[in-house]
Each structure stands twice: as C-alpha cells, then as structure tokens.
Amino acid sequence: MNQHKEVLYGLYDDEEVLLKAVRKAKSDHLDIMDVFSPFPVHGLDDALELTESRLHITGFIFGAIGTLTAFLFMTWVFTRDWPIIFGGKPYFSAPAFIPITFELTVLFASIGMVVTFYTICGMGPGVTNPTLDDRITDDKFCIAFDVTGAEAKQVDKLRAFLSSTGAGEVNAKEI
Amino acid sequence: MNQFTFEAKQKTVLTGFMILGLVCLAITFFTDDALHTRFWTNYLHNTVFFTGIALMSLFIMAAFTTAWAGWYVGMKRIWEAYSMFLIPGLGLLLVVILGLWGHLHHLYHWADAEEVAQDAVLTGKASFLNKSWYTFGTLIIVGMWIFFAYKIRQISIDEDANGKGFADNFRHHRRIRVFSAIFLPIAGFSSAAMIWQWIMSVDAHWYSTMFAWYTGASWFVAAMALTILLLIYLKGLGYFEHITQDHLHDLGKFLFAFSVFWTYLWFSQYMLIWYANVGEETVYFFERMQNYKFLFFANLVINFALPFLVLMRNDNKRKNGPMVFAAIMVFVGHWLDFFLMIKPGTRHTAMEALGGHGDHAEHAISFAMGYTIPGLLEIGTMLGFLAFFFYVALNQLTKASLVPKNDPYIKEATHHHVWPYIE
C-alpha cells in the first residue's frame, strides 16, 4: 500500500531547538515530510502551518446519519411494522424516541470518526507502522525529509540544514 | 485601558431605558385588571430573572475558583460586577414581599388564607408555602448570597490594591477559594428553595423535582450570554485588551454546553411527566401546550436548536458576529422561558380570584396580550430592567482595575490559548 520511501531525518534533544529548526525550514522553503515528538509540543502545529482537522465534519455527518437512522427506524417499527400500545401512548410518540435517538447519534458519530481516522492514517488490524528511530517515542525530537529520488546535492543541503540547526544525529533510512 | 470610565453618554442611554421600563410598568399598572396581575407578573418575572443572573455570575466565579481554573481571571471583574446586582435585586424582591403582606397582588394562590383552608393540597404545603417562609427565606438566603458576593469582591479588590508579592497574593487567592468553596453548596441548596418559593409556587398545586435545576440552568445560560455581550461591547471600546478570541471561544463553549444542559433538563422534566401521565403533574404542560403553544415550542427552538447549530462549529465561537447573535437569541430565549414559567400559573390564579374559571376548567382560554405572548409593555419592562442591571454592573466596574494584576493566575489567563491553528 505504502510507497517505498527514502527518508533523511535529524534527531534533536530539545523541543525549543526543534521549534526553531522547523521555523527555519519553513522560511528556507524546505519541504518537511513529518515531525515526530514524544509529546505534544506547544506551537508546533502553528510552526508547521497545519490547518484545522476536518475530522469533526465527518463527526457531524455520521451523527446526523445516526439521528435519522434511529428516529426513522423507530417510527417505522412502531407505526408500520409492529405497532404496540405502550402505556396508552400513541404509536408515534416522539418524546419516547428521543433518548435512543440521542444515543445512536453519539454512537454513530464516535464510531464513524474512529473508523475515518484509522482509514485516513492507514492504520488498522495487521498494519505495521515503520518507525524511523525508537527514541522518538522516548526522548528525541525528529524532523524528517522525504528524499526519494532526490539529487545528491539536495540531500547534502538538507543534511547541512539538519546539523546546522542543532540536530545531534542525522541519519538516512528506507521505509 | 485598565480603568473603566462610565461615560455620561452611556449613563444617559441606560437611564433612558430605565425610564422607558418605569413608564411601561406604570402603563401596565393603570390599564390592568383589578388585581394588577399583568403588572405584578412582569415585575416578578424580571426581578427574579435578573437577580438569578447575578447569583449565577457569582456561582460561575466560585465554581471556577474552586476548580483551580486560571483562564477566566482576566474577565472576573465582569462577574464580580454582575454579582453586585444581588443587592438591588433584594430591594426589588422586597417590593414583592410588601405586596404579599399588604395583599397588593394575587400572584400566589397559597397566599390566600381562605383558599388554603378549603384545599387539602395547599394545607399540606402550608408549612413551606407561607408568607413567613417567603419573607424570611428571601431575606436570609439572598442576604447570604450578598455576603459572599461582597466578601469575594472585597478580597479580590484588596488583593489588587495591597497584594505584596506572590506569597501574599496567593494568600488572598486562597481566602477567595475558601469563601467560594463554602458558597457553592449553600448556593446549590438555597437557590433551589428560593426557586420553589418565587417561581414554582405560582402553580401552587404542582411540583417537579427537576424544576430548580432547570431554572438554574436557564439563569446560567442567560448570565453567560450577558457576559459575552458585555465583553464584546467593552472590547470594541478598547477595554479588555488582554481578553482574546481564545477567551471568547471558551465562553462560547460554555454557552453551547449549558444550552444543551438546559435542554437535557427541560426534556427530562417533560418526558418523565409525559410518560407517567399523572394528572397532577401533567397539568403544568397541558396548560402550556394548549394555551401557549407558540411560546412552548419557540422556547425549544430558540434555546436549543439555534445555539446548537450556530455554536457547533469551532470557528463560529471565535467570531464576534455569530457569538453576538447566539448570545442575544439565547438571552431573549431564556427570558421567554421565565415568562412561560410564571405567566400561565399566575393567570389562572388571577382568573379564579376575579371570578372566572373557578372550576379549574381545562379548556382553551382566550388570547391575551401580555400573557399568551409578551406584548410591547413586557418588552419595554424587560429593557428597563436590563438597563438597570447594566447600570449597576458598569457602575461597579469603575470601582476596580479591569485587570486583576495581582491575581496569581493572571499570567496564565493572558497566555490562554485553545486554538493551535492559523486563523
């Protein structure tokens, strides 16, 4: 599924140094593939110029589907398919449907968002995720560049950038 | 600008609206039925509504302080100023109490000794629904709220003026927290008692255990809406530079969340009564759905559907336009909610006292301006009370720096960020 990639990455010891490096990369118009960090770094999304996730829009759509599913299904069951009188109420009793409508809305929205998120990220059962370096889940901060098919001159430039901005270690890896 | 100046122009406008409110009250009084029901219900409605907003402002502040929240301290002066309306609020309530003792009004069925004597339900409730409880309950409980509001504000201002270094500032803060923590349970229980007395007892036979929460949530949302409106207005004048769109975003979340919470309580109360279908309980909703159909459903649309859809999007909570729209809608909506709590019950009481419908006839009653929907006089009265509320609040705002510079959390509040993305 994933393309074979050659990655050049630098490991930083400190998140402040990382942030400075990311900002410099942006001003130098270098194309960062990804940044890895063991914990959320304040201001990193801003520095990477990430825009707001659109995941919550899918949440709204799935929620609306849940609302309709629950309400229409109950309406069909209690007025067409199997009408039973409960407590002397009419067959179509909207107030009685509300709690279940609410619950299905929440269920559809949450499960829909999880499935969407996993699909977009290419995650799921049986998928192995390549890591550049085990220490980026521990105490190192990493900036990675995609150098698949890049010229040697370009790779050298990136290598020089990484070491000049304070990366303690610069490695290349195929994933 | 850290020091608020209450300009002459603002005073003139607010005074103008206060006079409008007084004129409307006077017109209502002189064109009213023999018991002046429309006048007294309007008076009670607005008094209770705005006093409750003052209480909830204090409650919000106490809850945030107790929860170690830091983001709100940049705007806490607004809530301190709002909570000071409790003092004129008690004054306004005293008029209702005077009317109760002097038989000037007929708001409460239980206040009529002859009726209570022939009525088993009211006799059973007489140990709580009586004039003494109403009077001393109001005086003592609102008095307690005023004590806490005054104390918390006093310490907060003293911290500003006399705070000497971090340790001393934190000592002030800790005292505020102790008062807040004591106030919270007192407010929780005592506000319920006052809501039963002031509002729920206009339907003297009826009761609901959800009612106090439901009314409290209504006050809370209205207080949030007024906070947002005043903040945006004062920011437009150049004050509150330290309040950013991030603070507005959080206030928007509160407005959204508590609108949903209000709806949850509204529906819980409605559904249980609807399902159980017990006559003594359904009478409340039956009356409103028969004779106040438009308001009954408009209430849900304005207070649930509108803020839910408008404030659901993240970026709407960061824009002044949608926030002002939602805040105004929700404020008016909760004012209508209180209208719907008070008017039907008092109308029945008055009609019985005036000699009609003595048999509790449950057929459609005729349309009446000021009851079935709010008329111009009601709106004018509301604007008068609103102006009075803001006059008191803005006057209080002048008495302290808008930035509580010695609050230990002020740094956290100025650096509050909830939005990691580029706008």
Q: Answer for the pair B41, B344: CB distance below 8 angstroms, yes or no.
A: no
- Choose the closest CB to B270 out of A49, A88, A95: A95
Q: Is residue B418 part of a domain?
A: no
How far is residue B183's CA from residue B58's CA, in Å, rounded to a whole number? 9
CA B198 to chain centre: 13
Q: Is residue A115 part of a domain?
A: yes
Q: Cα torsion at B338, B341, B343, B349 (round to 10°)?
A: -150
Same domain, A60 and A112: yes
Q: Is residue A1 part of a domain?
A: no
Check CB contact under 8 Å for A87 and B275.
yes
Same domain, A83 and A116: yes
Q: Is residue B278 part of a domain?
A: yes
How far is residue B223's CA from residue B50's CA, in Å, rounded to a whole number? 9
Q: Answer for the pair B308, B293: CB distance below 8 angstroms, yes or no.
A: no
Same domain, A145 and A106: no
Task: Look at residue A1 in the predicted model and tell me its pLDDT.
Answer: 43
| Chain B contact set for A89 (CB, 8 A) | 275
How far is residue B192's CA from residue B354's CA, in Å, rounded to a whole number? 31
Pick the last residue of a domain from A74, A97, A120. A120
Check CB contact under 8 Å for B421 and A95.
no
For chain B, the domain total comes to: 1
Q: At which residue do the structure tokens 């219900």 appear?
A: B41
Q: Is residue B2 part of a domain?
A: no
How far is residue A6's CA from residue B84's CA, in Å, rounded to a whole number? 66
Q: Is residue B199 part of a domain?
A: yes
- Structure tokens of B213? 């929460």
Same domain, A16 and A29: yes
Expressed as residue numbers, the domain containing B265 is: 8-400
Check CB contact under 8 Å for B275 and A96.
yes
Same domain, A46 and A132: yes
Same domain, A46 and A59: no
How far is residue B228's CA from residue B223's CA, in Å, rounded to a whole number? 9
pLDDT class for A88, splitting at 50, 70, 90? Answer: confident
Pick the last residue of a domain from A89, A104, A120. A120
Q: Is residue B411 part of a domain?
A: no
AA letter at A62 = F
Nearest chain A CA: its distance from B288 CA (Å): 16
Q: Is residue A61 part of a domain?
A: yes
Pick the last residue of a domain from A79, A100, A120. A120
Nearest chain A CA: its distance from B362 CA (Å): 20
Expressed as residue numbers, the domain containing A139 is: 6-50+128-174
Same domain, A93 and A66: yes
Same domain, A68 and A85: yes
For chain A, the domain total comes to: 2
Same domain, A35 and A74: no
Task: Look at residue B363 in the predicted model and tell me its pLDDT.
Answer: 52
pLDDT tens readout for residues B231-246: 999 999 999 999 999 9
Same domain, A60 and A84: yes
Residue A155 sits in a domain of what CATH number? 3.30.70
Same domain, A135 and A88: no
Check CB contact under 8 Å for A51 and B421.
yes
Same domain, A72 and A112: yes
Rounded to an integer, the average pLDDT of B225-234 is: 96
Counting Cα atoms < 13 Å in the Cβ hemisphere of B287 gives: 21
Task: Look at residue B422 in the predicted model and tell me its pLDDT.
Answer: 62
Rounded to an integer, the average pLDDT of A72-100 is: 93
Which run of H or of E encompasses A35?
Answer: strand A32-36
pLDDT tens readout for residues B148-202: 999 999 999 999 988 888 889 999 999 999 999 999 999 999 999 999 999 999 9
ipTM: 0.80
CA A72 to chain centre: 32
